[in-house]
Structure 1
Amino acid sequence: MRPTFGPGTWDQVDVPLLKGYLRARSAKTQGNREMALLSLIWNWARGEGYTTLVWPAAGMERSGWKNKEKPRRMRVRDEIWNAIRYEGDQVLHDCMDLASATGMRLTDCITVLMPRTDILHLEASKTGKEAEWDLSLSATLPDLLARRRALGADHLMLLSTPDGRPVNLKMLRYRWDTARERAAVKASLADDGQSVAAIRALFLRDGRKRAAQKSGSLEEASDLLQHDDKRLTERHYGAVRKLKPVA
């Protein structure tokens, strides 16, 4: 940010300067995210009295001043997901199962509380929306819950390491990167270049995308991801309208 903003003052920041930053940013989508964060910081600063100026791009959401984004559309194929899962440990298995069964974001996976019954309750960290899942209806989550209860860890989170520590994003990132690379090497040794590319293109957060794609309908996927608009589910998570032939 320093080459663009330097020692600039509040009044020197305008839309052309912001657009110049976005043009110079190599990671275009990430640049948009950084602008969103900067606007939050700016408005916080207004509330604290550091500036009285309005965010320069306020009201320009529909003007197309940010970098154009193309949704990352891909199918999370079972064989690719399972190839990575096979190389992981139980901590990674549990997180992958939880994310792909419930559609939770990773931050929610590591902070959701262990339920006292079979009903898992979540207040989403990003939206504040509440949801419940009956774990007895899942093919994989009852085993996760049974292991967690047998562990008897002191912390309250559902996900746990075998030695009783709560799971954090750093732990998951290391485990995922390691398992994904091992799976990619195996696919490379099998001379399966297509699978290598698909494995390396997958992220742990795609468990949420996988949950949407495995849902029975677009409506079910939208409900699972707690979206108010089904178009968001369809556009960003690859959930498709499953239609029935009429003849």
Structure 2
Amino acid sequence: MANRKKALLSHIWNFTRNKGLTKLPNPCAGIKGFQEEGRDVYIEDHIYNAVWAVADQGLQDAMDIAYLSAQRKGDLLDFNRSDLKDGHLPVEQNKTGKKIRIAVEGQLEAVVTESTAARWPG
């Protein structure tokens, strides 16, 4: 949490300096952050199913699309029904910049076609 607070303070300070509100150097400069470990959580089927069972239809669709497309959260938010071409969804992954095409078939096709435009991401 300390790393997040330091990052926020640094961001605010840089913003105020860019707006001309201060000329002082960033007080966070040179302060070393704490070592962090990445999260290592695997959502077991019973947990996924329990959340899915109580979710509304829009969240169920989003969970299904995320699971069936195996894409990161940020990439899912960029999905748009109008991007579908010839049964594929072109995606430029935010993290890696890699361009891929996801075949929209089987269960994924069922979720995409059954969800309404109001519930479709994008």
TM over 0.5: yes
1:90 to 40, 50, 57: 57
The number of aligned residues is 119
In 1, are the aligned partners of 2:76 and 2:121 still within 8 Å (CA)? no
Asked whether the 8 Å contact 2:66–2:76 carries over to 1, the reply is yes
Aligned-pair Cα RMSD in Å: 3.0
Aligned pairs (5 A) from 1:193-208: none
Identity of aligned residues (%): 29
CA pair 76-135 structure 1, distance change in 2 beyond 3 A: same
CA 1:93–1:129: 2 relative to 1, 3 Å: same
Q: Decide which structure has the larger Cα Rg and report it.
A: 1
What's 1:47 paired with? Answer: 18
For 1:143, the equivalent position in structure 2 comes to: 110
CA deviation map 1:217-242 (0-9, x unaligned): xxxxxxxxxxxxxxxxxxxxxxxxxx
Aligned to 2:46: 79
Flag the structure with higher strand content. Answer: 2
Write the mapping of 1:74-223 to structure 2, written as runs, cut at 5 A.
74-100=41-67, 101-105=69-73, 107-114=74-81, 115-117=83-85, 118-123=87-92, 129=97, 131-136=99-104, 139-148=106-115, 151=116, 153=117, 160-161=118-119
Q: 1: distance between equivalents of 2:75 and 2:102?
A: 17
Q: Give me the TM-score of the superposition, normalised by structure 1.
A: 0.39
1:131 Cα offset (Å): 3.5
Tell me: higher relative CO, structure 1 or 2? Use CA pairs within 8 A at least 6 residues apart: 2
Q: 2:7: which partner in 1? A: 36
- Once residues 12 and 72 of structure 2 are traced to their aligned partners in structure 1, the CA distance between those partners, rounded to angstroms, is 27
Query: 1 or 2, which has the higher helix percentage?
Result: 1
Letter aligned with residue 24 of structure 2: L
Gap regions ≥5 residues in structure 2: none
- The answer to whether the Cα contact below 8 Å between 1:121 and 1:130 also exists between their aligned partners in 2 is no
